[in-house]
Amino acid sequence: MNNKETELREIMTTFAESGWELIASPAKEWLKGNGDKHELIAAIGQADRECGSCGCQFDPLYKRALAFQDLL
């Protein structure tokens, strides 16, 4: 696994453990290999719009995950 794949997996694990169903469910499915790429991208995009500038630890992760769309 290269560095980008490792970083993306770490981000998805953080999302999966977040407790926020919007991103947790699609991230869990992605980690299992069952995720729908478009659903995951949409969920991360929505999370970024709703929470992407609140100052929490997730703010930069949304943008970083979306930068890895080719790996999703």
pTM of the model: 0.93
Q: Residue 21 burial (CB < 10 Å; 0-12/13-18/19+)?
A: exposed
pLDDT of residue 1: 75
Average pLDDT for 18-35: 96
Nearest-angstrom CA–CA distance, 44 and 63:
8
Is the pLDDT at 26 greater than 80? The verdict is: yes
